[in-house]
Every structure is written in C-alpha cells, then in structure tokens.
C-alpha cells in the first residue's frame, strides 16, 4: 500500500512538470524531441497543453516531447521500440516555422556527452557512466543569451586500478560524483 501511494505521488509530480522550456525566445529545451503532432501545432499549441494532458492530441504531443527519437538516414522504424520519430528535415522546418535557433534535448546516450547533429539540434547526456555499463561522459551546458554562445563542462569517471572490494569499497553507485 505504501509503495503504491509513493508511486501515485511521484506520478502527480511528474504530470505537473512542464513538457519543455523556451530559453531567450530562441532555444526549445525538452527531453525527447519533436514529432508529427507537435509539427502541426508548433510552439503556440505546445503552450496551450494543460498538465496533465487529457486530450488525445495533447497526450501525443506530451509523448513526443518526452520520448521522441532522432531518425537517421538508414534507420529502420523497428529500432525505436514504438517511440515517436523525427528527422533532420523536421528539425529545420520546426525551427524556421517557430523562429527558433536550436532545439536542445536529451533522451539519447552520447559517448562524448554532447552531439551537435543536425546543425539546429544539440543532444546532451548528463548521467556519467550510464547504468554503470557505459564509459560515457556527462555534459552540462551554459548558454549566454546575449551573444548566443555556450560553454560546456564535461565530466568523466576516473577508474581506479582493478582491486579487491575488500581493499576498496565504491561509493553509492558509480554515477555518484564528488565535486
């Protein structure tokens, strides 16, 4: 019972959070990406979505914002596990129609922590050494809205020499960072 109640509270919180943010009227920040439904309504339609979404079209847009994947040339539709897809052409068109300089997103493991492809999109990956299985970097991005320049901080895990757990106990999760 207690676990169910905690889950319900977490769901209520998640349904209350915004789907995206627009920075300096130039940058759309979201987790996943754009998709066919968001392409139809643009930024004005995105702003009109009530949280939590109740209309089917709003649920579709929310799903795109949270889960959409970039489809690269040659990718098959079966590689996405049913997630909404968007293409390089969709990004160019969406940015032009909504007067955006760039889309900043996550939702895609990037070994170096950042990927600037296509030109009007940046993919950031913030968990370092994701799931303790990847040796990926983590990145944070700081935008300067006045001159549209960005600074990037990259973090990596520094592995110790292999040893016995009797000699060295790892901190709580390899993803923990001491700053």
Domain region containing 89:
2-155
Predicted confidence (pLDDT) per residue in 22-61, tens digit: 999 999 999 999 999 999 999 999 999 999 899 999 999 9
Residue 172 lies in a domain: no
Residue 117 lies in a domain: yes
Residue 177 lies in a domain: no
Q: What angle do CA 155, 156, 158 make, to 5 degrees?
A: 135
Q: How many domains in the chain? A: 1
What's the pTM value of the predicted model, to 2 decimals? 0.81
- For residue 169, pLDDT over 60 is answered with no
Residue 169 lies in a domain: no
- CATH number of the domain where residue 45 is located: 3.60.21.10
CA 96: distance to chain centroid?
21
């Amino acid at each position: 019972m207690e676990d169910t109640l905690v889950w319900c509270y977490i769901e209520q919180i998640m349904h209350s959070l915004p789907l995206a943010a627009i920075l300096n009227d130039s940058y759309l920040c979201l987790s996943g990406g754009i998709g066919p439904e968001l392409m139809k309504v643009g930024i004005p339609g995105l702003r009109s979505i009530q949280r939590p979404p109740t209309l089917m079209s709003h649920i579709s847009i929310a799903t795109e914002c949270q889960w959409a994947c970039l489809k690269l040339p040659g990718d098959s539709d079966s590689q996405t596990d049913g997630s909404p897809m968007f293409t390089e052409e969709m990004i160019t068109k969406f940015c032009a129609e909504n007067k955006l300089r760039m889309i900043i997103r996550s939702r895609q493991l990037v070994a170096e922590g950042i990927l600037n492809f296509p030109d009007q999109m940046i993919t950031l990956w913030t968990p370092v050494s994701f799931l303790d299985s990847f040796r990926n970097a983590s990145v944070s991005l700081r935008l300067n809205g006045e001159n549209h320049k960005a600074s990037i901080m990259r973090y990596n895990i520094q592995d110790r020499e292999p040893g016995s757990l009797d000699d060295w106990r790892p901190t709580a999760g390899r993803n923990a960072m001491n700053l």
